[in-house]
Amino acid sequence: TSTARAELASQARASDAGAPVKLAGRLLVRTVDPGNPRLNGRLVEAAFGASKAVVDGGRLACQRVYVAAGAGLCLAVAPSGVEYRARIFDRHHRVRHELTLSGLPSRARVSPGGRWGALTTFSSGDSYTTPGQFSTRTWILDMLSGRRVADLERFEVLKGDKRLDVPDFNFWGVTFAGDEDTFYATLATGGRRYLVKGSLAQRRVQLMRENVECPSLSPDGRRLAYKKRVGGVQDWRLHVLDLGTGRDVALAEQRSIDDQAEWLNDETVVYGDGRSVWAVRADGAGRPQRLLARADSPAAVRG
């Protein structure tokens, strides 16, 4: 693991020099090393900013990871290789709770205050690329007790003032607001995908906008980074939506990215392409910059 950490540290230091994006903050990522199961998925933390990058490692191995306010959520493959686990861990990467998952891990998020977690698994299928051929389950977790407290499929769904009651709801890609109640997510129904805004306390979501997948709320709570379908089944473009004005900006990354993007800071969006972690300006200007090779599932470390 020391070799992997040294390699990532070298990359992070090189990325700091003359960067076209604002590099300020810390990221937790999982290493990508398919040739070495012992190293694949291990957690590594990289710091960016005025000082040189410092990289630390953790003992957990994850398929998806997220952290907030010292609370972490790791979706992992069990030692059997055919079972999956959700592990809630603290700022020292010590596991506090563990849950069995019924499907392939897909997305993970933690609320800014560390109170709630959200996880998405595939009940059937293994990707979002084939409409009608996959099914997801999205749960809200109590990060303190480790219990599942809500299934989004049981929430009331409103389109305007009308309640929708159809059998094909699929939710994924939760992102939480700072009030520890409001959240945004993707809802697929009738062959279409919608941005929804929800309330945990009211157990209700409201349809907001079509063709928004895997939203990610900015630290200031004003904008959502998301992936927008722009062509075929596997053709997405990263965008940023201003929730106040409705202004929608395509980001400079022109490749199709199948990820729930993250915010390094209020000016910089980061994301994984399955092999490396990249950064791009949130205003649509500039160019993408690779931050870390052999890394994925970036999560900003705050608090």
Q: How confident is the model at residue 123 (pLDDT cuts 50, 70, 90)?
A: confident
Q: How confident is the model at residue 7 (pLDDT cuts 50, 70, 90)?
A: low
Strand pairing class (156-159; 204-210): parallel
- Rounded distance, CA 133 to CA 120, Å? 16
* 254-286 pLDDT, tens digit each: 999 999 999 999 999 999 999 999 999 999 999
Specify the pTM: 0.91
Listed in sequence order, the residues at least 6 apart from 59 whose beta carbon sits closer than 8 Å to its beta carbon are: 42, 43, 93
Where is pLDDT greater, at 55 or 249?
249
- Rounded distance, CA 258 to CA 214, Å? 9
Nearest one of 80, 76, 98, 100 to 88, comparing CA atoms: 98
Q: How confident is the model at residue 231 (pLDDT cuts 50, 70, 90)?
A: confident
Nearest one of 178, 200, 198 to 187, comparing CA atoms: 198
Q: Is the pLDDT of residue 128 over 80?
A: no
State the alpha helices, DSSP H only, in the chain: 2-16
- In whole angstroms, how far apart are CA 7 and each of 56, 155, 275, 300, 301? 12, 45, 14, 20, 20
